Structure 1
Amino acid sequence: MAGTEERALQPNRGTLDLARSLAAIRQAAEARRFLSYGDVAAASGLAWSVARRRMDPHLFDLCRRGTARGWPLLPAIVVDKRSVPHGAMRGRPLIGFARAAERCGRVIPGGDAASFLAAEQRRVFDWAEKERGHDLHA
């Protein structure tokens, strides 16, 4: 029995937690700010080096779950570290976001992923304001 109790008290062993990620994204969105992939990892108690390979599927899962609830693509405000001040992603992070959006059935008008991202980020900020104080579950 002691072994079971010890295991229950051990820290997270490399799993990104959807509820914690949702809470971190919501908190940032309510403040109308962007957060980094490292911030999402830290919300689950993980170092970026541990969470790095798990981040894309994790954020896609948040997109998929949010889409099922009629929410915007919440990971739109999760950006690479250098983009945190302004939110304008480029390169691989932008391509990854666009692919996740398309996999969730979203159409990117004219194939302009950067404009789509900016519009979705505004939708996330507006969503957070509307949902302020409501209980959300991942």
Structure 2
Amino acid sequence: MTPATAAGPTDGGPARVLSPALSLDASFRHIREAAASRRYVSYGELALASGLSWQAARRRMDPHLYDLCRRATERGWPLLSAIVVDRQSVPHGAMRGRPLIGFARAAERLGRIVGGDAAEFLAEEQQRVFAWAEKERDHVLHA
């Protein structure tokens, strides 16, 4: 069976061969780069960073983001998945519904105290991710 391909970037670049699994290293690099620009990332964009279509990555994304946050927590970093949102939320970063509940539950499983307002916790964590990326801009880091 041959790997699937995805359309190239919107600039008309070449199609990419898609890989079978999400990569923590690729996700980390993509999130760090976006955070350094104070930019939110869509789930689909993060899937493509690992060479996966959104359809192929969809069921794998929640455990993947949890693992990324677990590793970040072990290193004393903020919850990096805070800036990963659905496509419609990329301009502003707000989450609601299932994604917000999932993020808050993951944060609590990792020992964070979310409190009564998950959206406020998310917004604060997003700012922590942006500040972390700025502070670590010139350092070599690995997921």
Kindly, what percent of the aligned residue pairs are identical?
A: 70
Give the root-mean-square deviation of aligned CA atoms: 0.9
TM-score, normalised with respect to structure 1: 0.90
- Could you give the per-residue CA deviations for residues 56-76 of structure 1, whole angstroms, max 9, x where no partner exists? 000000110000000000000
Aligned-pair distance for 1:14? 1.9
Candidates 29, 50, 75, aligned match of 1:23: 29
Runs ≥4 in structure 1, deviation > 6 angstroms? none
Q: Which has the higher helix share?
A: 1
Show the counterpart of 2:121: 116
Classify the secondary structure of the residue corresponding to 1:32.
Answer: coil
Gaps of at least 5 residues in structure 2 are 1-16
- Could you give the per-residue CA deviations for residues 81-115 of structure 1, whole angstroms, max 9, x where no partner exists? 11100001100110110011011000012x21000
Q: Does 1:78 align with 2:104?
A: no
- Distance in 2, matches of 1:13 and 1:26, equals 21
Q: Which amino acid aligns with 1:27?
A: E
Candidates 133, 136, 140, aligned match of 1:135: 140
The number of aligned residues is: 127
Q: Which amino acid aligns with 2:110?
A: C
Q: Does 1:95 align with 2:101?
A: yes
- Distance in 2, matches of 1:58 and 1:88, equals 20
Q: Which amino acid aligns with 2:101?
A: I
Q: Does 1:54 align with 2:60?
A: yes
- Distance in 2, matches of 1:55 and 1:14, equals 13
- Distance in 2, matches of 1:86 and 1:131, equals 23
TM-score, normalised with respect to structure 2: 0.86
Structure with greater contact order relative to length (CA < 8 Å, sep ≥ 6): 1
Show the counterpart of 2:130: 125
- Distance in 1, matches of 2:142 and 2:20, equals 21
Aligned-pair distance for 1:13? 3.6
- Distance in 2, matches of 1:22 and 1:118, equals 20
